[in-house]
Amino acid sequence: MNKRYGDPRIASALFAFDSHVPYLNELRDFLEHFDEYDNRAGKKQKGTKKMRPTVPRNRMEQFESYAFPPGDAVIEVFGRRLSVRDTTPELRTLAAAVLTVAKTLPEWGEPNPP
């Protein structure tokens, strides 16, 4: 990421966000492919040639929960948890870094500077 944008603030903020929300990509995968996981056919349930199964081969609906405590929204699927309140500080830092660097990026369609 740092090489791509040439700014260590983005790399640092992205690392902090990813470290604080390590299951974000998995949660997205579970929700995007709900039917497969609910039918016990998700890739993380069956495994692949390169990856062993990492979640139980149970219906996803039995292992998902959504909660809305005051000032928060929480999702948990197969033990992977995401809390909006817990991730907000890192997300704000990441957004600020991206918006700061965006001011130095070329306009859409303009060639990148050498």
Asked if residues 78 and 38 have their Cβ atoms less than 8 Å apart, the reply is no
Q: Please count the CA atoms within 13 angstroms of the CA of 106 that sit on its side-chain side.
A: 7
Put simply, whether the predicted model's pTM sits higher than 0.75 gets the answer no
pLDDT in tens, 13-50: 888 888 888 899 999 999 999 999 999 999 899 988 88
Look at the chain and report how many structural domains it folds into: 1
pLDDT at 78: 92
Residue 114 lies in a domain: no
pLDDT surpasses 80 at 53: yes
Q: Look at residue 80 in the predicted model and tell me its pLDDT.
A: 93
Residue 112 lies in a domain: no
| Domain assignment present for 63 | yes
Q: Which residue range is the domain that position 6 belongs to?
A: 2-102
Question: Which carries the bigger pLDDT value, residue 5 or residue 22?
Answer: 22
- Per-residue pLDDT tens over the stretch 57-114: 989 889 999 999 999 999 999 999 999 999 999 999 989 988 888 776 666 666 655 5
Nearest CA among 63, 62, 95 for reference residue 80: 63
With respect to residue 27, please indicate whether it lies within any of the assigned structural domains: yes
Q: What pLDDT, on a 0 to 100 scale, did the predictor assign at position 65?
A: 94
CA distance 42 to 6: 37
Tell me if 111 is assigned to some domain: no
Question: Listing from the earlier edge strand, what are the strands of the sheet with 74-77?
Answer: 64-67, 74-77, 80-83
